[in-house]
Every structure is written in structure tokens, then in C-alpha cells.
Structure 1
Amino acid sequence: MLSRATAEGEPSLLYVMKQVELAVRAELDELARPAGLTALQYTALTVLERHPNLTSAQLARNSFVTAQAMADMVAALQERELIERHRDEQDRRRLVLALTPQGRRLLRRLRDQVAALEDRMLAGLTDHQIMQLRASLLSCRAALSGHLPH
């Protein structure tokens, strides 16, 4: 097994991953700005697209923001009629969030630009390397969340 220690003079993987995250977020901000969105708002909308009917707290966890930041974001997205709040059909006491048709249209409009950003980020990798990168990142996420395979 390779040493996990960073070679002298090389940045740590954590540092490199943070640099990639910040670069992607800056690019997403540029893509989303003409639509009146931030990268974080775009992320929240894509989370709701994949997982409809989340509570605000669940959406915050899945969008990597605090509950307070999500409350402000939900208000802004509701005001623009991109998301709606309604009673959960399984538990009528819970209020959940979902995309509106307008929110779905906005995501469709941005989809090709976001895909082009991902393609640009991965341009130096082969298809096999991309599959390995995805698997490796998913393994890292699982390890940090305590869900290591046995």
C-alpha cells in the first residue's frame, strides 16, 4: 500500500480537493449568475430534483449549508417560485419542499452548461480514470460518514 503521507513539497490531498471544490464553485457561480442563482442555490435545486419532498433541514444537510442559511435560501427560492412547500403525504404534520415546474425548467436550461463544466474539469482523464475517480471519491465519502464496506 502506498504511504498516505504527503511527499515533501507536495500539497496534501485535502488541500487539492478543496482547491477543486473552490474552482468548481466559482465556475458554477458564473454559470448560474445569469439565471439569478448562486452555486449553492443551484445545488439545492439539483438536490430537490433528485430527492423531492425533503424537509428544509434535510435539504440543508444534502446541500452542505447550515439550517439558517437554508431558511434564507428557501425563502428566496420560494419567492422566485422555483420551489414550493407543501404537506408531506406520508406525514401531514411535516412540511416538505419540492421543485416547481419553473424550477425544473431552469435546471433543464442550465444542464448543458454544467455538463460542459464537468467535461472541462475531466478533459485530461481517460474514461477509465473518470470511473476510478468517481469510485475513489465515493469511497472517501463513505469512509468519512462511517459507512465503510466490510
Structure 2
Amino acid sequence: MSTKGHVSCLTGSLGSMKDGSTRPVYERGTGFLLARLGSLTTRSWTAFLNEHQLTQGQYTLLVALKQHGSASQRRLAELVAMDARNVVLVLDSLAAANLIERRPDGTDRRRRIITLTEEGNNLLAIVADAAAAEQDRFLHALSDTERKRLNHLLQRLYDSHVPAADPQPG
């Protein structure tokens, strides 16, 4: 594909405003819309997590533990695609907040197994409910059918660019 075709794909047609939109042409291109909405959702999501005293890294690790169960620090780093050294710092903050517990591995004393605490499970339940409400607020302009279709299309795009995590325990 030529550069011109690539740019056209991301910016949208530079033709006339036949669709009746009063927005400038650059505000109608797919690339602009994805980038702008990504920025808006990032700000909204970060503010939302801050209200629950969480960072994105903390939330991601908590969700991975909820979904996959207890895991080693190394496995958690793999699951969330985070550098193992950074995982330790995030786990330290979660342990300090009593959201996780580190236990020695029964088969290898050098390894630690990370488990969600009752407080961690409770916080995730609260955050999940609040996140659903926040998502409804952000996507209010779309019907349920449109939301499902949008999510399906975004998931297809994401899957085509980001390989799925290895589901096998490590």
C-alpha cells in the first residue's frame, strides 16, 4: 500500500462533507477518532482508578490474579506483559494495601506465590460494578447492539495487532 493510501485510511476521505457533518475533515478520520477517543478513555479510566486508589498496573495485576488464580511473580509478569522488576514494585504496593498476599512456594522456597486477599477480592467487585457504570456513562450515545458491535470490531483489530497471552501456567 502506498503512503498516500495508508494516510487516507487513517484520516478518512479528504473529499467534501457529503455526510452532512459540520466537523472538520480531520475529525472524521478513523485514525483521528481512535486516537482522540483513546485519549479521552485513558483520562477517564485513570481518574476512575484514582478514585479507587489504584493505578493501571495495580488493577491489571489484581484482575490477572482474579482470572488466573494464585501465581508466581514471574507468571504474573508474563500474564500482564510487564517487566518482572516492575511487577515487584507494584506487588509491594498491593501487599502494603493488604490486597494481595505473598506466600513461599511449597516446591521452591526462592519463589513466592501471589494470592488475592479477601480485601483484594472485595475491591475488585466494587471496582467492577463502578467500571460498568462508568462504561455506560462513556458509551451512552450507543445502543446495546451498537456497543456489542463496536467491542467486537475493536477486539478483531486488537487481536490482529497484539498476540494473545500464553494461557499455559509458567
State the TM-score, normalized to the length of structure 1. 0.74
What does residue 26 of structure 2 align with?
10
What does residue 36 of structure 1 align with?
53
Deviation string, structure 1 residues 100-135 (Cα, Å, up to 9, x no partner):
101111122223221111111221112222111222
State the alpha-carbon separation in 2 of the partners of residues 143 and 54 from structure 1.
28
Larger radius of gyration: 2
Query: Are the aligned partners of 1:53 and 1:96 in contact in 2 as well (CA < 8 Å)?
Result: yes
| Gap change, CA 1:105 and 1:129, over 3 Å in 2 | same
1:23 is aligned to 2:50? no
Aligned residues: 143
State the alpha-carbon separation in 2 of the partners of residues 127 and 20 from structure 1.
19
Query: Are the aligned partners of 2:58 and 2:90 in contact in 1 as well (CA < 8 Å)?
Result: yes
Where do 5+ consecutive residues of structure 1 fail to align? Answer: none
Which amino acid in structure 1 is aligned with residue 26 of structure 2? Answer: E
**From 84, 89, 114, the counterpart of 1:72:** 89
State the alpha-carbon separation in 2 of the partners of residues 58 and 19 from structure 1.
34
State the alpha-carbon separation in 2 of the partners of residues 67 and 56 from structure 1.
7
Where do 5+ consecutive residues of structure 2 fail to align? Answer: 15-24, 165-170
| Gap change, CA 1:112 and 1:64, over 3 Å in 2 | same
After TM superposition, where is structure 1 displaced by more than 6 Å over at least 4 residues in a row?
none
Query: Are the aligned partners of 1:53 and 1:88 in contact in 2 as well (CA < 8 Å)?
Result: no
- Compute the displacement of 1:45 (Å): 1.4
Identity over aligned pairs, percent: 23
What does residue 141 of structure 1 align with?
158
